[in-house]
Amino acid sequence: MQTITRVAELRSTLAKSRGADRRVGLVPTMGYLHDGHMALIAASQAQCDVTVVSIFVNPTQFGPNEDLSSYPRDFLRDEELCRDGGVAILFAPDTLEVYTSHFETFVEPGDLAKPLCGVFRPGHFRGVATVVCKLFNMVQPDVVFFGQKDFQQCAVVRRMVIDLNLPIEMVTVPTVRERDGLAMSSRNRYLSKEERQRALAINRGLSAALDEFRSGERNVEKLIAVARGHLEAVDRLQYLELVDGDTLKTADSPLRRPAALCAAAYVGSTRLIDNVLLGCQLGSAMRG
């Protein structure tokens, strides 16, 4: 495995792979890797000849009161995990390599960025879309891999790939969970033992609604109420919404289209997100 920090070296190295007609996969991350990331890496390994993992804690997607400075980092551990996972290139640029000192050009996402997390994290998806677009330009992958846990992020990036005619296939990989059902996240390390137990209420609520859906329930309000009934254990429920799987607009009742039940909640000072898909099919946004 090569660890590369400069765009010029990255492009030069990948040019050799492209010259040999090798399929390049990209797994964009902010590091502090866990089994969810490793599932993305495994998916890339299965579908591509060369897997690139990027590690970059992107400052433009953090708000002024969010956890940029304290976001968990352990580069040596991440490097070892990538090597063990068969990654060909670990791309770990510093901030000035990604954003020049006079950087002023951003990708502005549209309506998909406005609901759910967009309400509470203004500018977040602008930062996400910008850095992801930059990584796509730096790596020029054939395929990119994202996790379902970040459902809205996937929708925003998928739309960007289509709208900007990016020659990339996007694959969404199902959420990987701990044995107790908690969605894997780098921020889980913030939780105390007691908070960790209370955080399980999020998945319990979403799973209960999914069970009702599978049993035939199609009333939006009832499905939300079922999930909400399990969420008293969290300290603050930021949102619990059932949205159309494509547009992210509030789903109509009775449900006739694929939808996603999405939640964001604080347990202690830690913000956690999760979702379940109701009739959605995970798949790819083909080349733009």
Active site residues per annotation: 37
Residues 6+ positions from 209 with CB-CB distance below 8 Å:
223, 224, 226, 227, 261, 276, 278
4-33 CB burial, b ≥16 within 10 A, e <16: beebeebeebbeebeeeeebbbbbbbbbbb
Helices 7-19 and 124-139 pack at an angle, to 10 degrees, of: 50
Neighbours of 250 (CB within 10 A): 13
Looking at the DSSP bridge assignments, the partners of residue 260 are 243, 277
Helices 193-214 and 220-228 pack at an angle, to 10 degrees, of: 150
What distances in angstroms separate CA 62 from CA 8, 103, 164, 220, 234, one per listed residue? 27, 17, 24, 32, 23
Residues 6+ positions from 41 with CB-CB distance below 8 Å:
27, 51, 53, 82, 85, 86, 87, 145
Residues 6+ positions from 260 with CB-CB distance below 8 Å:
151, 242, 243, 245, 248, 275, 276, 277, 278, 280
Residues 6+ positions from 223 with CB-CB distance below 8 Å:
209, 212, 213, 217, 242, 255, 261, 278
* Pairing status of strand 89-91 against strand 259-267: unpaired
